[in-house]
Amino acid sequence: MVIRNADWVNFLRQYGPIPRNDNMYDEAIQRSIEKKGIEPIKVEPEYLSGLIDNFKTGYPRSVILTGTAGDGKTFYCREVWLALGGSKEDWDNNETIKVLPLKNHSLYVIKDLSELSDDNRYIIYDMAESIKQDNGKVFLVAANDGQLIEKWKTAEFNYIVSEVAGFIEDLLVSEQQYKEGYNLQLINLSRTNSAKIFPKIVESVVNHPGWDECQNCSFKENESIYNRCPIWENKKRLEGAQDEKILQERLIDLLELCELNEVHIPIRQLLLLISNMLLGHPEARDKLMSCSQIPKILEDKSSSSASIYRNIFGENLSKRRRETTDIFSTLNRFGIGTESNNFIDNILIFGEDDPELKDIFNKYMTSDEFYGADETYKGDQKAYLEGEVSKDESDRFLNRLRSQRQRLFFTVDTNDIIEIQVWDLTSFKYAGEFLESVYRRLENEKRVQPKILGRLVKGINRISTGLLTKDSDVVYLSTSGSHSQSKISRVYETEISVRPNRGESVNILLENGKPVLNVNMSLSDEIGPVSLKLHLVRYEFISRVAEGELPGSFSRECYEDLLAFKSRLLNQLEYRRKIEGAYETDPDRLVLELLRINNEGMLYRRTVEVDFE
């Protein structure tokens, strides 16, 4: 029996990149759950139990939930409302402000602060008063980033509203949740790490009871690969039972790198990604497969176009749709598929006929009958190598190569990762190192290896001085005769030891969960360290400069960042000299030390004296 219209698959489509009114997203999903009787996708929210417990106490705090669209603010508000005894009917009504009696207080819930009309602006004053002192009211308010402060600033002005607005802004800037003297908790859901919540969402989706509808489908585990359902195939690959979850791990790596690069992925976008991974197909209605479309896809032999590895990047969508969908726009910045190295392309193009590459070609290409080197791929490959193709056919094969590079990134196992160098398939060849050897080592309270720190110091020295130095034991500070940001700075100011030496040192540590390069210049508490945040793009830029490469695609912004870092180091040097009384001047002559570079690429100083007569 063939199931043509599985309710679960149709429900899952609603999370995908289909046109909708985002303001009604949560309501639309809830209506579908009720109409079809489908169990919702459950992921235990980080703060939910704490919020419910807070409002059950005799002395609750007011709570503001902020973050970007899709972070789950409406979900939190609804679940708290229902958990505290609020009715579903009252929740579904059109009232902007919902009121619920608690033990000693009245709870006011505003699920979207932007919907607050001018007639209801009085509620801002009530909330400000409740935050300053107990007035019998407590609030749960949701607001997107930017809307929160704007609403407070446009409320009726008085000193309490003004004070509380400033306090809320301070909490946002300092990334804090509380402040003594104010009865408020501010939770910024944009601080939720998408890499940590993603596997929980995946587990909820792949283990959902809705898949039981597929049990009697003749396409589910068909013996013939040409009659096998691509939706079920994608589900198995996302589940990862047969390959130790390599695909999940690589996706988690990418999401972690996004977070480290200060790019947050909301939960809604993660659900969109998973839906598209499972159901994406360029020829399907809305570009997302449903059960009723599977026979036609199999008949047209277009299952390979449903590849989960292509769908991760929204390849089933139009270019414009990809660029305007946040998750695909973000993931495509990694350049996976367009970047490569000679070894990987030799595997993909010549591997079948090359004795030295044949084993690895069979392992990663031939063995994957569904999305790997099928007969169509091999036929296009042979014609391409023999030069018997038109331009359109050549472009088609090159597009297939792009898809295979994407697949390789998510399938190469840990045993081959050093030989194949999967991070060469991205625009950030040092991304894997940044993640494993810097961030995760620091997270596990281990030091970053000296060779990595030395490379970063070498890159910083090259940028700071404008000279191709190999020095990695000290940080050189130099100018062009003033503190201007000249490309070449030969006038020596000082050097800072990387190894601890009389208060000087250079190290990498975690600050607010992010890697930071710290330059310490003195034992004195008055002279603090100068820090540089090491997000992915900066790390890649500094590392490439250290290795003599020119990463032009992102060099201008990073170069200016490093010059600003140099300026802060020079300013701190000036401050140190004032504190330590290190100035020595001679009115009759000027002594300069100019940096030179020797044949080994090491810097040395040459003194130049100018006499005034």
Share of the chain above pLDDT 70, in %: 94
Is 2 domain-assigned? no
At 351-375, the pLDDT tens digits run: 888 999 999 999 999 999 899 988 7
At 15-32, the pLDDT tens digits run: 999 876 565 677 777 887
User: What is the reported pLDDT for 3?
Assistant: 45
What is the per-residue DSSP string for 32-92?
HHHHHTPPP-----SSHHHHHHHHHSSSPPEEEEEESTTSSHHHHHHHHHHHTT--HHHHH
At 162-216, the pLDDT tens digits run: 888 888 888 888 888 988 889 999 999 988 899 999 999 999 999 999 999 888 8
Is 577 domain-assigned? yes
* In the predicted structure, residue 484 carries a pLDDT above the cut 60: no
Is 186 domain-assigned? yes
Beta strands in 145-296 (DSSP E): 184-188
At 100-153, the pLDDT tens digits run: 999 889 999 999 888 887 777 788 888 989 998 888 899 999 998 777 877 777
User: Can you name the residues that pair with 288 across neighbouring β-strands?
Assistant: 280
Tokens in use for 69? Answer: 């669209």
Pairing label, strands 589-597, 474-479: unpaired
User: What is the reported pLDDT for 23?
Assistant: 58
CB-side neighbour CA atoms (13 Å) of 541: 19
What's the count of helices (H) and strands (E) in the chain, helices before strands? 26, 12
* In the predicted structure, residue 228 carries a pLDDT above the cut 70: yes
User: Can you name the residues that pair with 504 across neighbouring β-strands?
Assistant: 501, 521
- Together in a domain, 186 and 198: no
Is 29 domain-assigned? no
Contact criterion met (CB below 8 Å) for 426 and 416: no
Q: Which of these three, 173, 191, 209, is where a domain ends?
A: 191
Q: Does pTM top 0.85 for this prediction?
A: yes
User: What is the reported pLDDT for 583?
Assistant: 58
Residues 229, 447: Cα–Cα separation, whole Å: 48
- Together in a domain, 301 and 356: no
Task: Tell me what the mean pLDDT of segment 305-326 comes to.
Answer: 95
**Which band of pLDDT confidence, cut at 50, 70 and 90, is reported for residue 556?**
confident
* In the predicted structure, residue 2 carries a pLDDT above the cut 60: no
- Residues 388-421 as b/e (b if ≥16 CB within 10 A, e otherwise) read ebeeeeeeebeebbbbbbbbbbbbbeeeeeeebb
Is 183 domain-assigned? yes
- Together in a domain, 293 and 372: no
Is 408 domain-assigned? yes
- Together in a domain, 136 and 221: no
- Alpha carbon dihedral 228, 229, 235, 239, in 10-degree steps, equals -10
User: What is the reported pLDDT for 109?
Assistant: 95
Q: Which of these three, 132, 165, 191, is where a domain ends?
A: 191
- Together in a domain, 472 and 572: yes
Is 17 domain-assigned? no
Residues 603, 453: Cα–Cα separation, whole Å: 19
- Together in a domain, 96 and 202: no
Is 42 domain-assigned? no
- Together in a domain, 273 and 364: no
User: What is the reported pLDDT for 79?
Assistant: 92
At 96-112, the pLDDT tens digits run: 899 999 988 999 999 98
Residues 370, 493: Cα–Cα separation, whole Å: 62
- Together in a domain, 439 and 551: yes
Q: How many domains does the chain have?
A: 4
Compute the Cα dihedral for 305, 325, 5, 1 and give only its sign: positive
- Together in a domain, 417 and 500: no
Q: Which domain holds residue 240?
A: 193-332
Tokens in use for 102? Answer: 């608690």
Sheet containing 603-611, strands listed edge to edge, beginning at the edge strand earlier in sequence: 474-479, 491-497, 589-597, 603-611
User: What is the reported pLDDT for 221?
Assistant: 78
Q: Which of these three, 314, 332, 350, is where a domain ends?
A: 332
